[in-house]
Amino acid sequence: MSLKGWEWLARSIARSGQSHVFFIDAVLRPTLMALEAQGVVPVLAHSEKGAAYMADGYARVAGRPGIVAAQSVGAANLAAALQDAWLGRVPMLALTGRKPHHAQHRNAYQEVAHAPLFAPVTKAGMAVEAASDLPRLFRQGWSAAVAAPPRPMHLDLNGLMAEIVEQGDTGATEPADLSAWTAPRHRPAGDAGDVARLARRLLEEPRIAIVAGDGAALSGCGAELLELAARLRAPIATSLGARGLVPTRHRLHVGVVGSYSAPPANRVVHGAGLVLMIGCDGGDQVTHAWRVPAPGTPVVQIDADALELDRCPAEISVCGDPRATLEALLEALGTPERDSAFLDHAAGLVAEWRQSMAARLASDEAPIDPARLCAEISGALPEDGILVADTGYSGIWTGTLVEFNGAGQQYLRAAGSLGWAFPAALGAKCAAGARKVVCYSGDGALYYHLTELETAKRRGIAVTLVVNNNKGFGQGWPNLVRAAGNRPEVAGTLLRFGEHTDFCALAAGFGLRGIRVERPDQIGPALREAMASDETVVVEVMTGIDHRAPEPWTPEA
């Protein structure tokens, strides 16, 4: 007997291994009720953006598409929320209802064209006109979402709440099982001839710097990357999104490169005679506005995304999954004799910088130096813990000063949407099981989605929400003070918040606990107490707005 649309969709989502879906009412109501009966938790959020960011965080941990749904009127909000997943190479399925054909192009209430809204932030959009189309298009959407590079897909379902698709006959008698389709689904190695040429070129150059990007992190090639760097005596820098790919304290690791970096990485990559980019996009952030590496430095590339090849341009570009291609490259390289002078120089720069930061990492200042907060997070994060960080200063603090083991720990960062981290952390926890999730958010970012504290309480989602509370937007503060003629009272009208917000009290208002931290020696105990809880706990850390995060080294013009 043919399954109805709602039944096929709910059973397929459950059979494909999803534990949670995220939504804003009113859409897919029969499907959502059926999902709960199947053991899949529907998570009602407080905005389409909140729901999308939850699905984003879920997908980054699960490797399966995060599923998010909204009715027709919410489609524009949902589309805007997919930017971070698009930039972060995250598989997602965005499901929207839309009014049927007879209501289109007639100034129907709350209806706008969906396809143009989703086009910039999805691989493709597919109109699901009838239930009989659903099995084919849902399968195709899932497949495309997890193929390299993973990115969101949009399914526009007929009916304001998708009811036309839900109530129709699919023609299918069995649900789909797509549980084996995780990102990246396909792992082709690079062409053997290209790999051989790359190996020869690498052996010619004594001063190689490796830059591993988000695509490398997605591929999970940390072990292969370390082995390659060891054989070539080449320091490893990473993009912000690949911060946790290899152990950050490893002698081969020089840190995040680009605009959100500490000084050593830019200096090392700028001084290289050849740069090997692995799963790295070459955009302005990772190259510090295209100043690192030095203009004219030869570049060679490995990337699964053909659109990222030869943007630089590259001497040699190899199209293939980073992990599979590095395995082939290691075989082609063998165990060469290599000079370690460049690596020794790079390690010396890192050691010198770490020594310069040691006092701040142990600072007893109050208001608290966020550097000390980062050091305490490094010490408290479990061996399999997940840290979710917002964009802006949150990304810089955590990307330069929080240490990761390069094994069980995971670092998720916003690709650019302020306020992303807290709802993303809730979604990450939904996929993480017993693993602990810590969210690092500034107070300015948390204001975006503070209401999702109610979602955390209602659905019993336990994350440790660390609020770096400096009572304002800290990243741009010194520049604005200078622009105001060094008058903080003038600049404060634009970037400072009120003195009286109490995030612990706000947490209590949502039925959750808050721990206020005003001294550095309170941070570690507060983090451990929060992580031991079986529900979300807010750890409000009172920091100073004048504390500066590490700044990138910039070459002379």
Report all structural domains of the chain as residue ranges with CATH numbers, in order of start: 5-167 (3.40.50.970), 192-347 (3.40.50.1220), 362-542 (3.40.50.970)
Closest by CA to 16, choosing from 59, 78, 70, is: 59
> Is it the case that residue 359 has pLDDT exceeding 90?
yes
Signed CA dihedral, 130, 132, 135, 139: sign only: negative
Evaluate if residue 490 carries a pLDDT over 80.
no
User: CA-CA distances (angstroms) from residue 414 to 9, 104, 307, 318?
Assistant: 30, 36, 22, 28
- How would DSSP label each residue in 249-268? TSTTEEEE-SSS--HHHHHH
- What is the rounded distance in angstroms from the CA atom of residue 426 to the CA atom of residue 328? 38
Give 27-75 pLDDT, tens digit per residue.
999 999 999 999 999 999 999 999 999 999 999 999 999 999 999 999 9
Q: How far apart are CA 529 and CA 2, in angstroms?
A: 52
Closest CA to 209 of 96, 72, 110, 347: 347
Identify residue 333 by its one-letter amino acid code: L
pLDDT at 73: 92
**For residue 220, with 0-12 CB atoms within 10 Å meaning exposed, 13-18 middle and 19 or more buried, which class applies?**
middle
pLDDT surpasses 80 at 156: yes
Q: What is the pLDDT of residues 108-134, one digit of tens each?
A: 887 889 999 999 999 999 999 999 999
Q: What is the pLDDT of residues 236-255, one digit of tens each?
A: 999 999 999 999 999 999 99
280: nearest Cα among 225, 334, 328, 227: 225
DSSP state of 369: P
- pLDDT per position as a tens digit, 261-297: 999 999 999 999 999 999 999 999 999 999 999 999 9
Band of residue 344 on the pLDDT scale cut at 50, 70, 90: very high
439 beta partners: 388, 465
**Strand order across the 41-44 sheet:** 41-44, 20-23, 66-70, 92-98, 152-158, 125-128
